[in-house]
Copies of this chain bind each other. A is one copy, B any other.
């Protein structure tokens, strides 16, 4: 089967099926452009990410996971903005027309596309070193998109899930001697290869008036800094409140904390909201009506004199000042 036929078999035909279910998509693949209806009162949210073999995923990553994760991390950007998925385009560069690869890649891609009801509406396939660029489009009510810049004094800082497990997966892929007999390696690899974009949070982020949000892709501390820079605020973080991934539970406490604070690839959401809204969310969580969230700190004025110059985050431990050293350097992805 030629490359054109492979693309048609594994991408074009599937995408048309999904399009029929998606009333936003007026015209899918096959013309010069796709056509998409953005409902009146909504704004379009757009994000682009490139995935390169050797930079964003290891050479031995299975094609199903590459397809899955490429779209998952883009969906995560929509979730962080408070947007619902609508459509995406795929630019795929392949070294050869290997049907096994294309079949598994597309199965991974459409597993997550179908789960979150997002339509493939266009793309381009070229020959070259393996690379995946996805542009994802979503919608959110005008003036309700959640920006990084909206954090307010005394906002509660939350994260949507346990941190550090995916970064441990990266470390294990680098040092394979630590995989054998390690009860946690499967968990860590699962977190690394199959991130769960937190689309489930979106309605709750609007309901509880979340003021600022982003997704944790480069490590909690580094990403929190983007909120603090954009919002011109500082933060106090209690290290005992950081939720640690289960995949790390057999490591020494300091290593656990280091992965959770500085590891990347979590794709949980970090967000801030008022104390009052946080308490409402917690009440609803306790009665089973909202997803679990983790309070990890508080937004402070930038002029707060407890914040040392040049560093916007201070740490406490069970409410008291921390005496021990806390590593603040993000891991590199690879």
Contact = CB atoms under 8 A, between A and B. Distances in A.
Interface string A67-110: 00000000001101101000101110100000000000000000
Contacts of A127: 52, 55
Given A32-B78, A36-B43, 10 more contacts: A31-B230, A32-B80, A32-B81, A33-B78, A33-B81, A33-B145, A44-B44, A46-B122, A48-B89, A126-B131
A250 interface: no
A213 B33 CA distance: 11
Contacts of A124: 48-50, 133
Interface string A235-276: 000000000000000000000000000000000000000000
A27 B142 contact: no
A47 B142 contact: no
Interface string A205-227: 00000000111000000000000
B50 A133 contact: yes
* Prevailing SS type, chain A contact patch: strand
B89 A46 contact: yes
B27 A93 contact: no
B32 A36 contact: no
27 contacts: A27-B147, A31-B147, A31-B148, A32-B80, A32-B213, A32-B214, A33-B46, A33-B78, A33-B145, A34-B45, A35-B46, A37-B44, A37-B142, A40-B40, A46-B87, A46-B122, A48-B89, A48-B124, A50-B93, A50-B133, A52-B126, A55-B128, A91-B133, A124-B133, A126-B131, A129-B129, A133-B133
Interface of A: 26-27, 30-38, 40, 43-50, 52, 54-56, 77-78, 80-81, 83, 87, 89-91, 93, 121-124, 126-129, 131, 133, 135, 137-138, 140, 142, 145, 147-149, 213-215, 230
A36 B55 CA distance: 30
B50 A138 contact: no
B131 A77 contact: no
A122 B40 CA distance: 23
B33 A126 contact: no
A122 B33 contact: no
B35 A45 contact: yes
A27 B145 CA distance: 10
A135 B89 contact: yes
Contacts of A140: 35
A91 B123 CA distance: 13
